[in-house]
Structure 1
C-alpha cells in the first residue's frame, strides 16, 4: 500500500505539472477567466494531495489498515475532485457540459475531508 501512495503521489504530481502548463498556455485563450480559475483549482488540489501522498508514503506503517484507508481516501478524493473539475471545465468550454460530473466534485471533496479527518484521528489516538 505504501508503494501505491508513492506511485500515485508521483503520478498525480507529474500530471498536475502537465495540466498546469496545459491550462496556462493552451487553455488560456479558450477558457473564460472563471473556467480557468476552476481548472487551476483542480490542479492545485491535485498537487497538494500528491505531496501529501508522497509524505505519507514515506512515513506511514506498511500494514496498518487505518493508514491504508487514509491513502485510499486521498487517492480517490483527488481523482474524483480534480478530474471532475477538469471534465466540467473542458466540456463547458466546448458547450457540451457533462452534467453528471457536477455531483462527483463534492463527493471527491468528501473523500479528501475523510482522508484529513482520518489523519487527525491517527495522530490524536
Structure 2
C-alpha cells in the first residue's frame, strides 16, 4: 500500500498520540497515583482512554484516506479534540485548575465532529466504489 506524504504525516501524528497515551497511562498507574487526589487520577485515566480511542480513530482515518482524502478531516478533528479534551484533563490533573474543565467539552465536540466526518466520508465515498 502506498501512502501519500500527508497520510504519512497524519499517520505519524496519530501513532505519536497513541504512544503518549500508553506512556501517560503507565505514568498515571505507577507514579501519579501517589501525587494527586483520587478525582484527579480519574481525570488522568479518562484523558488517557480518550486519547487512545481517538488516536486509533485517526489511524483508521489515515488508512481510509486511500479511498477518499475526506477521511483525513476525521484525523485532524480527532487530533485537535485530543489536544483540547485529553490535554485539558491532563493539565487539570497536574494543576487542579478546574476552570480548564470548560475547555474539555470543546474537545468532546471535536471528537463528535470527527466521527460525523468519518460517517459522511463513508457515505460519500460509496458513490465512487464499484460493487
1:9 to 2:8 alignment: no
Contact 1:5 1:56 in 2 (8 A): no
What is the Cα deviation at residue 28 of structure 1?
Answer: 0.7
1:121 to 2:126 alignment: no
Aligned to 2:58: 53
Structural RMSD (CA): 1.7
Please give the alpha-carbon distance, in whole angstroms, between the structure 2 residues aligned to 1:62 and 1:11: 23
Aligned to 2:3: none
Please give the alpha-carbon distance, in whole angstroms, between the structure 1 residues aligned to 2:122 and 2:67: 16
Please give the alpha-carbon distance, in whole angstroms, between the structure 1 residues aligned to 2:60 and 2:121: 15
SS in 1 for 2:35: coil
Aligned to 1:81: 85
Cα distance change of structure 1 residues 124 and 63 upon mapping to structure 2, 3 Å threshold? closer
SS in 1 for 2:33: coil
In terms of Rg, which structure is larger?
2
Please give the alpha-carbon distance, in whole angstroms, between the structure 2 residues aligned to 1:117 and 1:19: 28
